[in-house]
Structure 1
Amino acid sequence: MREWTVEGSDQLISDRWINLRVDHCRTPEGTAISPYYVLDYPDWVVVVALTEARELVMVEQYRHGAGRVLLELPAGSCEREDPDIEISARRELLEETGYEAASWRLVSSLYANPATQSNRLHVFLAEGARQVGAQQLDRGEEGMTVHLRPLDTILPGLASGVIGQALHVSALLLALGPQG
């Protein structure tokens, strides 16, 4: 399997959150694939944060794309001023929950949706999480609430959608699985 050739590219939307471009591609066999739309997001981090009591630090917030309030893991975009992805993960946990953690480990880096998105998702396991302050929410995150949930109440409910965000389910399983 070989990569496609990009014969041209046009930027359609470019702002703080997203870049949408249209690529004009050709497969190795010569088939033209045009237009092919690609979303360029910043990389994302998701944090599986566990307290000493093995409670999962979670947030509940409204997600407009789904039109629902969802229970999720702390997560967000890597910002340009963050020196590295662990700093991004630490910042997101602190901002969204007011928690810090004693130990941090990068579990995995995956593509979020490689068919149409260029960004990666970096999964961190943060153990020894404890509250050190109040939430420091970004504009638009008003109403986000913090929840501590025992792992034994979350894991059995994954298949029934207790966590509705597929990337967060993947992150949780990776962080807590045999290799996590």
Structure 2
Amino acid sequence: MIDRARSRRWNLWYALTILAVLLASSLVSAGTVAAESARSEPVTVNGKMVLDCVHMTPETHKYAVENNYCTDGATPQNTVYGDCGYSFIYIYALGSLEAQVYYGFGSSLGAVVYRNLGVGWASTSGLSGGWNDSGVMASSTYATNRYINPGYGTTYVALGGDVVLWWGGTCTLLGPTDNRFIGY
């Protein structure tokens, strides 16, 4: 009987020792995590803001041009770069009041599995329009074009939207714009 009692005490002591070691290591880990959390800096996310020179009333556009916020003449083809890659939109005058809009993007953070884009245009002729371009894909780059008949005058185009990366991240396009005079 003495051996059994001694054995039980030994097992109890052994179990309490193991429990104390586990508890001590847990407290050390928790203290390390808490110390690391206290030392970490807040995360800052920066994004570019771009003035939309396409979707404005004529009075607003006139003010923006007079103050050099927007241009009234032809601008260079526009590519905008950000943390996720780049996006672009160009407009080409083809003659006979027709234009080609060429747009797309490139991801620097991996393949894109879904795009959700929107293109808008407005012309000083009074015509305007746009379209959505959404779909499943498996590439880090995308480019396409569409033909429009905006009438006689300067036509402004803009690209917006977002893409979903293969690992679940979402990137928002930074709104490239372009404009061109479209004539006969």
TM-score > 0.5 by shorter chain: no
Q: Which has the higher helix share?
A: 2
Choose 1 or 2 for highest CA Rg: 2
